[in-house]
Amino acid sequence: MKIVRFILAIALIALLAQGAHLRLLFVLDYALIGVLVFSFVWTRLSLYGITVERRGSSERSQVGHYFDEFITLRNHFILPKLWLEVTDNSELPGHKLTCVQSLRPLGRAEWKARTYCSMRGRYRLGPIIITAGDPFGLFRLQRCLPAHCYLTIYPTSLEIRHFEGLNGTMPGGNTISSPTHHITPNINGLRDYRPGDSLNRIHWASSARQRRLIVKEFEFDPEADIQLFLDLNVEGHWVVDPDQRKESTVALPASQATFRSSDSTEEYTIAAAATLTRHFLERGRSVGLVAWGQHHEQIAADRGERQLIKLFEALAILRTQGSTDFGQLITAELPRLKSSDTLVLVTASLEESWISVLPMLLRKNIKVAVALIEPGTFGAKQGSLLTVGGLASMNIPTYLIKRGDNIGQALSTELTKLAVYVR
């Protein structure tokens, strides 16, 4: 709008100069035309030779931690940049990089943005839009710099204190004779060396006798695999409005919510699963995951740091967007479950459908434990008393997590039973 008024002023002065034949008006008109041309050229050159480099402190973070990102803006041109407005279009909540910078010829500017990670997920960082203008404020041009990357925020995982370790093996457990890349105290046999085998797996005595490289194969201890089953059916979850949660405990069904909130049964479910995952893996147990959110997620049981990252990557992006009933999910996975498995079901549902499936698991000699997110504390009208009573009648350990509870402490009290249960 300003440039339109400026052009109209030039035209008006030109008409007055023609009518009055005043030299001063002609000089003023030419000067304004020169300012217009200068401003346009300056604005175009202000976006020339600009590069942006962004460096994050890591490609991964966790809820409750801070993410630091460093931005470097460089001018590779001999003309200065009087002002450049930098606008960041990142998806990360609370990530603020927008600022105004000026650059000297061949100069650079660097600044840091620190963001508190409040919500798990996978977020795009960038692109950056740079807006430049002339000294008179007549022109504004934008340029989009596709400098972007991705940040994965893992769910929070709390410490489980005063917990008896899962040290024992299952009575009558079968030795897992399938080869594993992990080095364990149990040797399953010997075989020829294959490219990629670690040198610390070589059996030197056999290699000397056979005059070729022989490596050891290992097997796991006969312990129960931990299978985490998550209920991500949208019909069974509740979300508290972050703007109202201090004043009200009334929540919306997840199927009706148009916003995300850390105060929801979804986030409690994921946080409980992450806490259990880290706890079991740190104690050398083999952990798998089954869930049906926006897609069917099935991760085979394994152990080690690599399995921890794999499970946390999955938990970071899982959402309560599934339409599969929790009972149907358990029934569908039943054929592949072994009697040596221990199932930990994490759910906020009080429906009878999934509880009625549990006797089939028990008849197959599968150990079951339930971490129940109490939906009544999030605004649901139905209480969990009948559900807890039904589970207690089947001697299934139940661990109740209420809104506002410290998940690690809530699990610490009850998981001592689970420690005895899976031995």
Q: What percent of the chain has pLDDT over 90?
A: 55
Task: Give the tens place of pLDDT for each residue, 385-413.
Answer: 889 889 989 988 888 999 999 998 888 77
Tell me the pLDDT tens digit for each residue of 237-280: 999 877 765 555 567 888 888 888 999 999 999 999 999 999 99
Rounded distance, CA 342 to CA 310, Å? 20
192 and 232 fall within a common domain: no
Q: What is the mean pLDDT of the chain?
A: 86
> Looking at the domain assignment, is residue 29 inside a domain?
yes
pLDDT number for residue 348: 95
Is-contact 410 399, C-beta < 8 A?
yes
Would you say residue 169 lies in a domain?
no
Task: Give 152's pLDDT tier (boundaries 50, 70, 90).
Answer: very high
Report how many domains make up the chain.
4
Nearest Cα residue to 279 out of 395, 414, 119, 397: 414
Which of these, 314, 311, 368, lies nearest to 345 by C-alpha position? 368
| Residue that the structure tokens 């990089």 belong to | 97
Which whole number is the average pLDDT over 103-124?
94
Domain boundary at 154, 186, 209, which? 154
**Considering only CA atoms, which of 79, 80, 83 is closest in space to residue 137?**
83
Banded pLDDT at 167 (limits 50, 70, 90): very low
Q: Answer with the residue of higher pLDDT: 264 or 189.
A: 264
**Chain segment 35-82, per-residue pLDDT in tens:** 999 999 999 999 999 999 989 888 999 999 999 999 999 999 999 998
Examine residue 390 and state whether it is found in any structural domain, yes or no.
Answer: yes
Do the beta carbons of residue 291 and residue 272 sit within 8 Å?
no
What is the pLDDT, as a whole number, of residue 153?
Answer: 97
Q: Ramachandran region of residue 142, left (φ > 0), alpha (ψ -120 to 50) or beta?
A: beta
Report, as an integer, the average pLDDT of 405-422: 65
What pLDDT was estimated at residue 186?
A: 56
Q: Residue 168 domain-assigned?
A: no
Co-location of 182 and 256 in the same domain: no
Do residues 302 and 251 share a domain?
A: yes
Residue 326 lies in a domain: yes
Structure tokens at 380: 């649901």
Q: What is the rounded CA–CA span in Å between residue 7 and residue 211? A: 91
Nearest to 282 by CA among 165, 411, 418, 421: 165
Residues 273 and 216 in one domain: no
| pLDDT (average), residues 289-307 | 93
Q: In which domain, by residue range, is 6 found?
A: 2-46
CATH at residue 265: 3.40.50.410
